[in-house]
Structure formats: structure tokens, C-alpha cells
A and B are shown apart, each in its own frame.
Chain A
């Protein structure tokens, strides 16, 4: 479930990045690459687990699936927070700088 949710997040971010390209001011490429990196890593994790337990990998209990879903959503939230922090630090449109200067 975590892998699935992260892949969906990566695909959505990539579509948004593609639709806005070549404008890179929102750092959407970073967000997509972050989610793709995590998706690839969880894919390897899933393959290793599948090789160990076989078809049982797909037969999770409801409680495990719910826990995995919460984890997947939390991972997406964390990814978005990291992306926001990068965006504010780099501030490619100068919004933060302008806001701070206006207040001073």
C-alpha cells in the first residue's frame, strides 16, 4: 500500500511537472524525483519480501493494510513538507524575500 501510494504521488507530480515545463520555479522536478526515488526503493523492498514469503505478500490483514495506508499518506505528507522547505529556502520567485522586505 505504501509503495502504491508513493507511485501515485510520483506519477501525479510528474504529470504536473510536465504540464508546467520548462518553468522550474516551483521545484516540481525535485518533488517528483524524491517520490520516484522512494518508489524504486520500496519496489526493491517488495521484491525481496515477495521472494521470501511468496504469494502471502499480497494477502495482508485489514489492520496491516490500514497501517500501511496511514504510513503511505504520512510519507506523502513528509515529502510535501520537505519540498515546501526546499522551495522556501531556494525561493526562486523571491516571494519570501519580498514579503520579509515589505514587513520591514
Chain B
């Protein structure tokens, strides 16, 4: 019905967050993660961009699926469910499937961030031992 709107909304928020983190990193407000003579670690703004790309890409492709199934219209109010008076069903679907999508994408991104942090720490330990 309109489940893609939930991850799309999250994408708007995370994109703004990425821009803020990026500008702080440029200004040097955010603590640099590695000294100058070492290979630079992946910045947090870059890690946030992974989430943004998953959310924007997924939402765009899901929106296309909704157009395919006639659930999204080019005319106001754009959503067939609202036009047909099924707003309550649409909101219920958004709160189950939509929220589930956003949460699962974010959880997988969180796992990716934790894994990358673990790899960076392991690399640091190997360098210290040498």
C-alpha cells in the first residue's frame, strides 16, 4: 500500500545526519579516528552513506513496485488506499511491514558497522604486534 514511505522517511533523516556529520568531520569537530601516518579508517559519514544508499535505493525500487501494482497514482492524493478510503489499513501496513523494513535495514547496517570496526581494531592489533 505505502510501506516504502517509512524507509524513505528514515532515508531523509539519515541523509541530513550524514551531511551534518560530514561537515563536522571537515571542520575537525569530530575526533579523527586515526593518526596521520596510518591508513585512514572509514569515516562515520561514509558508514552512514551505506545506510542511505540501502534506504534510498530500496525505497525507490519499492516505490516502482507500488506504481506497477497501481497502489501509487500520479494525481492527488497519490495513494490509491487513501482514495478508496482504506487509510486505516494503509497505516496498519506501514506500521508493520514498513517499520519492519526500516528496522531490518538499520539492523543489518549496524552489523556492517560493528564488523568494519572489528576489522579495523584487528588491523591495529596486528600493527602493534609488528
Contacts and interface: CB of A to CB of B under 8 A. Distances in A.
A19 B62 CA distance: 28
Interface residues of B, number: 24
A76 to B, nearest CB: 9
A78 B64 contact: yes
Nearest to A30: B53
A43 B103 CA distance: 12
Contacts of B96: 48
Chain A's interface size range is 20 to 34
B54 interface: yes
B76 interface: no
A71 B53 contact: no
Contact of B68 (A37, A44, A74): A74
A33 B60 CA distance: 12
A40 B58 contact: yes
A48 to B, nearest CB: 5
B50 A45 contact: no
A37 B65 contact: no
Given A37-B55, A74-B68, A79 B50 contact: no
Q: Please indicate which of the listed interface residues A29, A45, A71, A79 has the most CB atoms of chain B within 10 Å of its own CB.
A: A45
Interface in B51-72: 53-62, 64-65, 68
Contact of B65 (A30, A43, A71): A71
Contacts of A78: 60-61, 64
Interface in A28-84: 29-30, 33-45, 47-48, 71, 74-75, 78-79, 82
